[in-house]
Amino acid sequence: MDKLAIVVPCYNEEEVLKIASEALRGVLDDLVKKGKIARDSFILFVNDGSKDRTWELIEEEHKAHPVQVCGVKLAGNVGHQFALTAGLITAKDMSDVTISIDADLQDDVNVIEEMIDKFHAGNDIVYGVRKERKTDTFFKRVTAQGFYKLMDAMGVKSIYNHADFRLMSKRAVEQFSKYQETNLYLRGMMPLIGYQTDMVYYDRLERVAGESKYPLKKMLALAFNGISSFSVKPISMVLGLGLFIVCLSVIAGIYALISYFTGNVEPGWTSLIISIWFLGGLQLLAIGLVGQYIGKIYIEVKHRPRYNIEKVLSSEDETK
Ligand code: UDP
Ligand code: MG
């Protein structure tokens, strides 16, 4: 029977912690009763340097439910993506399959069963995808949708309307842990892992209590991080712009020369206008070219795994 770990990053979540713990324990009990997961499956709360009583509450919950509730305390606030990574990597050594979910229960816990079913059907990653954003404010909806469109335009592969509610098998987390990069954008990294994946759909609910810990500033930072960690497209755009302006300078040069020969120009204007356009374009082109190399260096220093082998068929199998 597979042992499940539900990983929950928490930052100043004292208002929702007990509610989340109770709801998730209910899900665990139910799945154990149905024989879908092992009896010692558990919730792993990751305290991301909270300033309130979150950690005390996690300790209390652990005391009351020593098997079902476990905790990790990070030494300081590192942000959602890092807290989640810490939780997943800790959980992989203690379990066979992990599910990550936010503490505020905005993601529907009732689809966890479907995720487990899809895992048993042979999927290594199951993405939770929001059906629609009825409960979000207009502002959040528009900014979030703009975010996915921008990522798409920049060539970052990510799953539309999927936040970090997802199931990952042990081997998927193991492969993920080989990505040593520090600029984390989990949603963009998961599709790189490979394996068979599937999705479950759910309605995004209201936060049960407390306030969003993701103000616009953090959202913009996440978006910028996502683009700059996954795509060197902005550099290519500079190169393209440089090329375009150099071409334009040829046209501008022809125009200036024609004006010169037809005689209706101030002295000095022709040479000035040609050099401004040409040099401007040349400089952009050079910056873009240097940028191409920097982009390559950037990709190299990440030391990402180059492939992920799922199965090997060899003669040794026959002799066993
Ligand atoms: N979170 C975290 N560290 C942070 C900010 C947030 O671990 O620095 C956690 C938070 O406790 C919650 C999850 O990340 O479990 C998502 O945050 P939130 O619900 O505030 O974001 P929203 O749903 O509004 O985008
Ligand atoms: Mg939330």
Distance 210 CA to ligand 2 centre (A): 9
pLDDT of residue 320: 53
- The rounded Å distance from CA 214 to ligand 2 centre is 8
Question: Residues with beta carbon inside 6 Å of ligand 1?
Answer: 9-11, 13, 48, 77, 79-80, 83, 102-104, 106, 212-214
pLDDT class of 100 with cuts at 50, 70, 90: very high
pTM listed for this prediction? 0.83
Question: 5 and 42 in contact (C-beta within 8 Å)?
Answer: yes
Using CA atoms in the order 190, 192, 197, 199, what is the torsion angle rounded to 10 degrees? 50
Instruction: Answer yes or no: are the C-beta atoms of 64 and 24 closer than 8 Å.
Output: no
| Of 44 and 184, more confident | 44
- 213-252 in b/e form (b: 16+ CB < 10 A) is beeeeeeeebbebbbebbbbeebeebbeebeebbeebeeb
Q: How far apart are CA 168 and CA 123, in angstroms?
A: 9
* Residue 208 pLDDT exceeds 80: no
Going by pLDDT thresholds of 50, 70 and 90, the confidence category of residue 205 is confident
Confidence of residue 133 (pLDDT cuts 50, 70, 90): low
Q: How far apart are CA 133 and CA 49, in angstroms?
A: 30
Q: Which atom of ligand 1 is nearest to the CA of 207?
A: 19
Mean pLDDT (whole number) for 273-292: 90
What's the 175 CA to ligand 2 centre distance in angstroms?
27
**Does position 116 have pLDDT exceeding 90, yes or no?**
yes
- Taking the C-alpha atoms of residue 240 and residue 232, their distance in angstroms, rounded to an integer, is 13
